[in-house]
């Protein structure tokens, strides 16, 4: 979907109301801290907002927008937007597990998008905006599956979680998309859909917030 679309204020109000009053519970299963930097890949709608959120999480060294779930040859914005590639807009997060755990990243991920929406987030529609996790190893896959089961069992959301656990490589998006929220904080799409996520992150996770 064209992110330059102009959206009515009623849609903004609906988006803001999606933020939970409290964050989802901490995961009961986590990935043990390992030596060196680790990688996580999440897809939760437009990668501008997801990247911007994780850039503000303590322990995250970098967040890169890109495409996951499809093939390298069609990992570009024009083809992915056709909804025929199997790719999801995703973010590759490099983090220090001694500062932030994979479980804590999962918790932020589920708090800052709607995991009950099938193939859509906010104004964006299509499978490329699906909620998905791309584990980088068996421990991440186990932790992700356990957390989804935990959240569903606790009825943490008003509807069942549709987040998929998938496999596949990650391919960085075009330079234009990298750091978009940070570079264009006054862009209408960013102001309407993504800045509320940053405010929510700071409110719900003060111990993880990094200015």
Classify burial at 2, counting beta carbons within 10 Å of its beta carbon; exposed 0-12, middle 13-18, buried 19 or more. exposed
Of the candidates 31, 46, 64, 75, the residue annotated as catalytic is 46
User: Any catalytic annotation for residue 46?
Assistant: yes
Give strand pairing partners of 165.
Answer: 133
Single pTM value for the model: 0.91
Domain ranges of the chain: 36-201
Model confidence over 150-199: pLDDT tens digits? Answer: 999 999 999 999 999 999 999 999 999 999 999 999 999 999 999 999 99
Long-range contact list for 71-75, CB < 8 A, 24+ apart? 72/169, 72/171, 75/171
Q: Quick one: average pLDDT of 70-91?
A: 97
What CATH number should be reported for the domain whose range is 36-201?
A: 3.30.1060.10
| DSSP one-letter code for 210 | -
């Amino acid at each position: 979907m064209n992110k330059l679309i102009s959206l009515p204020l009623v849609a903004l109000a609906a988006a803001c109301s999606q933020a939970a009053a409290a964050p989802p519970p901490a995961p009961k299963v986590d990935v043990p801290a390992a030596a060196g930097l680790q990688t996580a890949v999440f897809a939760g709608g437009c990668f501008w907002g997801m990247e911007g959120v994780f850039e503000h999480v303590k322990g995250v060294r970098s967040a890169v927008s890109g495409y996951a779930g499809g093939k390298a040859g069609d990992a570009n914005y024009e083809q992915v937007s056709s909804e025929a590639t199997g790719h999801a807009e995703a973010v590759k997060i490099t983090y220090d597990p001694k500062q932030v755990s994979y479980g804590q990243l999962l918790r932020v991920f589920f708090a800052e998008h709607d995991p009950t929406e099938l193939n859509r987030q906010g104004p964006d529609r299509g499978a490329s905006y699906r909620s998905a996790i791309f584990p980088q190893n068996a421990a991440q896959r186990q932790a992700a599956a356990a957390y989804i089961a935990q959240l569903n069992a606790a009825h943490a959301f008003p509807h069942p979680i549709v987040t998929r656990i998938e496999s596949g490589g990650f391919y960085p998006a075009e330079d234009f998309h990298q750091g978009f929220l940070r570079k264009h904080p006054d862009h209408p799409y960013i102001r309407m859909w993504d800045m509320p996520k940053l405010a929510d992150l700071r409110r719900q996770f003060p111990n993880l917030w990094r200015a």
